Amino acid sequence: MSAPITSICCIGAGYVGGPTMAVIADRCPATQVTVVDLNAERIAAWNDADLSQLPVYEPGLDAVVGRARGRKLHFSTAVEEAIAAADMVFISVNTPTKTKGLGAGQASDLKWVEASARTVAKAAQGHTIVVEKSTLPVRTAAVTRRSWPRPRAAKPSRCSPTPSSWPRAAPSPIWRRPIGC
């Protein structure tokens, strides 16, 4: 059996990443979770002492964040440092509808997913599991893998798509590896 995952980084502190990581940090006692985002105002809101100022509303989220933040749950703009320290990286970034080009008005714009994948490839240390946790079209994992520069042999990794509706969907095989819960 592989070593448990003790450090998770989530790129994206929005409606998917923030609440998901708060629950993981709250429920997994041996796991440190860092949520990163380039939006400093959003990170400041997650770090605000007044839990009513969280940038996302979900019933009970304030209590979950209050229990875990500063202990096992951290919010930061230091993206590359958090990736380098992580055993597992979630990509939970915005995937708006494309406004131009092939699929405009219908297809998802994956530019932030691709940019995040390139950042993970650059900053990851050792074997890193990458999980796509966003509203994504089928085969996005292949796009993510293509975003990683060659050669990848020096930094072995796996990429697993996980739908935003994760609790209702069949779990990805990646979850067979213990997360420290």
**Cα→Cα distances 10→80, 99, 104, 139, 150, Å:** 11, 26, 28, 21, 23
Q: What six digits make up the tokens of 71?
A: 């202990």
| Helix (H) / strand (E) containing 7 | strand 7-11
Q: What is the pLDDT of residue 139?
A: 61
The DSSP letter of residue 159 is E
Mean pLDDT per 10-residue interval, the chain, length 181 residues: 85 95 95 97 98 96 97 98 96 83 79 87 89 69 62 48 45 42 43
User: Is the Cα torsion angle 2, 162, 42, 69 positive or negative in sign?
Assistant: negative
Could you give the CA distance from residue 98 to residue 107 in angstroms, rounded to a whole number?
6
Q: What six digits make up the tokens of 60?
A: 């009970």
Q: What is the pLDDT of residue 150?
A: 52
Q: Is the pTM of this model over 0.85?
A: no
Q: What is the pLDDT of residue 149?
A: 60
Class of 7-175 in CATH: alpha beta
The type of residue at 34 is T
Domain borders along the chain are 7-175
Q: What is the pLDDT of residue 137?
A: 61
